Structure formats: C-alpha cells, structure tokens
Amino acid sequence: MSVRVADPSIELIARAAAECQDLATLGSIVRGCEACPELAISRTTVVVGDLPPTPQLLVVGEAPGANEDLAGRPFIGKGGQLLDELMSQAGLDRGRVAVLNVLKCRPPANRTPTTAEARRCSGWLDRQVELLDPPFVLTLGRTALTWALGAKVTLDAARGVEHNWRRRRLVVSYHPSAAIRFGPSGAPRKALEADLHFLAELLR
C-alpha cells in the first residue's frame, strides 16, 4: 500500500498516520510523503527506521545523514558507529533497540531541520511510537529533545534524570555527532557515556 501525502498540513499527516494499524502500512505511506517539498526533491530515500519486534528501548535522533540517506537505515555512519560502541560498553542490547529519527528525510547538506519540517514529520514518529510501544525512550540531541519535551527545555537541564513521558520512561542525552565533534575527552561524549550507563541501570 502506498499513499502519496502532498499536503503539508500537520493535521493531514496526523490523520493519515492514525489510520495505520501496523508499522508496515505506516512505513509504506511514509515512503510516499512529499509534505516537505525541498526534502522530497533532495532525498535519495525515506529512512523509516530500524523496527525490531517488541523493542525494549526506542532511540530517537535528529535526521538521516548522507550514509543513512543512501542505505535507507538510521545511524549507520560515524555517529551510529560510536553509538553502537558506547551502547555495547554500557551493556545495552542493540538487538532489542528500535532506532528512529524525528525527520525521515535527509536535510540538504545535513543542515538542522526546520521547525516546520520537524512538526510535520512528528506525526509519523508519534504513530510509530504508539505502534512500537517501547517501555523506554532515549532522545539524542536538541531536535529530538524538542519533539519529546518542547522547545523551552534545555538539554543540560533535562539529562541525567528519568522523565515520565506518555506512560513511558524517557532519558535524554547528546547526539553522537556532538560527541565526535568535541572529541573523546569533550563534555558531550562524557555525558552520552554517563547517560547510556544510567539508562542501562534503569533497564536492569
């Protein structure tokens, strides 16, 4: 099933998503989305996400990068490789982790998603969360934090604690790209490492 969504209306996307009763149907509709014209033209593919059955944890990032846009899978570039490494060190089982992004399409030149793009695509993400029904959620970076807790919440203020969010347990941290940018001894990597260990303790 493939339905073309050309109207940028946030309400239309939310309605289209709500009508989907399973992840496969939702994924087919998302792949035809053209609500953000610039992204629909520039993308190679729509990155729906990694969706294992009955995930213990959902990780939500910002948007696909160049590698993800080509392969159609989230977090497979350098940032994803670092995340895999740090998750393994923390004792988190990647096999039971679903991975999504706020945006399903790569923004040109990896620019930060606009507020309008994030709001449109959130309709798809919200429905994915409902259908996946993970007990734990980890957001990575500012865009994912804003999706979960709103624009007024800062990353430093929100991290290091557990949040009760939509009947789920939420932890927030830095995006792996920030950890790479500031280096192995930088504050973002240290924070990400600490937050993953904190999350692993909650999962035990």
Do residues 66 and 44 lie in contact, with contact meaning Cβ atoms separated by under 8 Å? no
Instruction: Tell me what pLDDT residue 188 has.
Output: 98
Residue 63 phi, psi dihedral angles, 5° rounding: -165, 160
Is residue 99 within 8 Å of residue 139, measured between CB atoms?
A: no
What pLDDT, on a 0 to 100 scale, did the predictor assign at position 63?
98
Q: What are phi and psi of 57, to 5 degrees?
A: -140, 140
Question: Residue 81 pLDDT > 70, yes or no?
Answer: yes
Residue 5 pLDDT exceeds 80? no
Give the pLDDT confidence score for residue 186 in this predicted structure.
97
pLDDT of residue 3 exceeding 50: no
Q: Find all residues with CB under 8 Å of 27, minimum gap 6, and list them.
A: 48, 51
Rounded distance between C-alpha atoms, residue 146 and residue 50, angstroms: 21
Domains, the chain, in order of start with CATH, read 10-203 (3.40.470.10)
The predicted structure's pLDDT at residue 91: 96
Mean pLDDT of 133-150: 98
Global confidence as pTM:
0.94
| Terminal-to-terminal C-alpha distance of the chain | 39
pLDDT of residue 83: 98
CA distances from 86 to 94, 130, 166, 189, 194 (A): 11, 27, 27, 9, 10
Q: What is the pLDDT of residue 95?
A: 87
